Structure 1
């Protein structure tokens, strides 16, 4: 591992002390940028194809024609992992519209800013350790999820103020993840996670027809649940349905499957289904990367 971490900025591997982006960059000025958060296991990216497709979808929403191929982006990520000597890592790949004249209207001609940021994580798989210290504690916040008619949930952009405002509401509480509702008061997702409940009818999660990010880990968990014969319901529910659940957990690329200890003061916790899904997820990682 190098003494100073290295990042990939516009085609160059640079030490952290030299890696920078222009103050005129639209990603900085307006949040006009797309990104993907991924995990590397054993030196390889998990579900790169799915992440690349979602990144392309975000760029399509932004009308950001950056002109870079999947192969090019993949190579930049792996160059960054190799330069840092990381086999197991957090990876963030960002593409902004770059520097343009100082006005809101984006120009069709794009000289994109492409940044790959990495940091080490524990080994994944069966013998790995979770990145979280313990089960999550959720609290329902008043900040509502932005409706798709305003900003499509499928677009992962640098404008993450919605989630930041939700997390700010957790200050002074024992919660470490915000449960966000949509405009009608139904459960949408966590500030940085998808939400799942387990009840007598099987696995329950909010549908993608609402303002819900199509999480890569979410899709993997649903795939595992189907393989295990666990009934799946994608349904619109209120937070009270989660409080009545037998088990509750959240997912994202970094946390993988993380059980929820409590929601709004009501103790829920994980359980056999959560444990089965988490174990199967880790086994899938083990079989594929180690």
Structure 2
């Protein structure tokens, strides 16, 4: 395997960044996880726009390279990898160990890829089965502290949530994803996913007015639902709404749509809306990347 590091393709065992890099020292970096289907990137424009918005919020948007998409293509080609998870990171670069960034920025740009199964109508899911989700004590970081729409290397809240799941696991019960709440107790998202559920025929998902990341797959699902004229509602919900739902699922770039089998020990499962949206998503991928 080869990774793309600061404009060069290098073998994985030689790929490295400086120990002085601010992405390593402080999480001072923007990143995106994108999905390659058939050698091209799904929803590239949306991912690139969000990456640039994050970099602008961090104060180095003007140094993000213009050839990011070509670098991704080069990395996929170098690894003969058309079906892949791709992580693209742009840090502020190496600097002294002071919190205040220097005014001049020399960014570090890293692209890594990992092979995944084919997507689309004849593809395979990357997950083994429907998810078990569990409400955790770790709360979402308020927007007033860290903007939730900034996708940065600061993922400690997600890590702490996943560690809670690990501590709670036993031979009979093991959760795949955390359900995270804000300071008021409202459901926000999963540690690395957005949450949808169906209640009496209405598709519901937490509003981006709360501290959650507006996922790219989340936006695609809402578009698909609008095309089908499903009743859709965004708002504030408790985790009890997921437990009591008729069906529920998670979304992210890698999982696509993953049904929720159990929430806090209560059986939920998929249903006709989840299955239809999953098929429509696969059809969209098929048309865009395999036809």
Q: Secondary structure at the match of 1:51?
A: helix
Q: Secondary structure at the match of 1:82?
A: helix
Q: Is the 8 A contact 1:198 1:245 kept in 2?
A: yes
Q: Which of 11, 18, 22 does residue 22 from structure 1 map onto?
A: 18
In structure 1, distance between residues paired with 2:241 and 2:269: 14
In structure 2, distance between residues paired with 1:69 and 1:30: 21
Q: Which of 131, 134, 142 does residue 139 from structure 1 map onto?
A: 134
In structure 2, distance between residues paired with 1:142 and 1:175: 14
Q: Which of 106, 109, 115 does residue 114 from structure 1 map onto?
A: 109
In structure 2, distance between residues paired with 1:283 and 1:13: 33
Kindly indicate whether residue 97 of structure 2 is the aligned counterpart of residue 102 of structure 1. Answer: yes
For structure 2, which runs of at least 5 residues remain unmatched after alignment? Answer: none
- Structure 1, residues 157-179: CA drift from partner, whole Å, max 9, x if none? 11110100000000142101000
How far is the alpha carbon of 1:68 from its aligned partner? 3.3
Shift of the 66–29 alpha-carbon distance from structure 1 to 2, 3 Å rule, reads farther
Q: Is the 8 A contact 2:52 2:64 kept in 1?
A: no
- Structure 1, residues 228-275: CA drift from partner, whole Å, max 9, x if none? 111110010111111111001000000000000000000000111000
- Structure 1, residues 76-103: CA drift from partner, whole Å, max 9, x if none? 1110000000111000000001111220
Q: Secondary structure at the match of 1:124?
A: coil
Q: Which of 75, 84, 92 does residue 80 from structure 1 map onto?
A: 75
Moved more, 116-125 or 237-246: 237-246
Kindly indicate whether residue 156 of structure 2 is the aligned counterpart of residue 161 of structure 1. Answer: yes
Q: Is the 8 A contact 1:195 1:249 kept in 2?
A: yes
The aligned residue for residue 56 of structure 1 is 52
Kindly indicate whether residue 271 of structure 2 is the aligned counterpart of residue 271 of structure 1. Answer: yes
Q: Secondary structure at the match of 1:170?
A: helix
In structure 2, distance between residues paired with 1:56 and 1:244: 38
Kindly indicate whether residue 40 of structure 2 is the aligned counterpart of residue 34 of structure 1. Answer: no
Q: Is the 8 A contact 1:216 1:253 kept in 2?
A: yes
In structure 2, distance between residues paired with 1:242 and 1:217: 19
- Structure 1, residues 106-129: CA drift from partner, whole Å, max 9, x if none? 112100000001000000000000
The two structures have a TM-score, normalised by structure 1, of 0.97
Q: Secondary structure at the match of 2:53?
A: helix
The aligned residue for residue 223 of structure 1 is 223
* RMSD over equivalenced CA pairs, Å: 0.8
Runs of 4 or more above 6 Å deviation: none
- The within-5 A match list for 1:156-235 is 156-171=151-166, 172-173=168-169, 174-235=174-235
In structure 2, distance between residues paired with 1:269 and 1:164: 26
How far is the alpha carbon of 1:66 from its aligned partner? 5.0
In structure 2, distance between residues paired with 1:49 and 1:283: 19
The aligned residue for residue 238 of structure 1 is 238
Q: Is the 8 A contact 2:35 2:253 kept in 1?
A: yes
Q: Which of 5, 8, 11 does residue 9 from structure 1 map onto?
A: 5
Q: Secondary structure at the match of 2:165?
A: coil
